[in-house]
Amino acid sequence: MITATVRYRLPTHIDYNACLEHFSKIAPDFQGVKGLISKHFIWSESGWAGGVYQWETEADARAFYSGPWLAGIVERYGMTPQIDYFKVFALTDNSRGTVQVLERPLASA
């Protein structure tokens, strides 16, 4: 599992309400995206917004971010987003009361 954080600075004409309206409108468009487990739409008072994505594989994430999605981000926000990829080792899900270890350390020699 991969977590990707995507951030971009919002232009001054996109305030909290405009960002909320846009994110609410596009959220359903992410259903059925190949390899996407979940997306958190995020906003900060600092003027940054974006998403925290859970992907099945890094290849799925990179394929999505290099497609039409990227052109839309650049057009709407005027910048290439900052994207970081993280390998997920374990997952604690308090809503389900579960802990899942996804990868174990290799045995020391």
Phi, psi torsion values for 85, nearest 5 degrees: -115, 135
- List the domains of the chain with CATH numbers: 2-101 (3.30.70.100)
Amino acid 66: pLDDT: 93
Single pTM value for the model: 0.90
Name 99's Cβ contacts closer than 8 Å, sequence gap at least 6.
90, 91, 92, 93
DSSP-derived 3-state class of residue 36: strand
Helix (DSSP H) and strand (DSSP E) numbers for the chain: 3, 6
Name 41's Cβ contacts closer than 8 Å, sequence gap at least 6.
23, 27, 49, 51
pLDDT in tens, 12-53: 999 999 999 999 999 999 999 999 999 999 999 999 999 999
pLDDT in tens, 27-37: 999 999 999 99
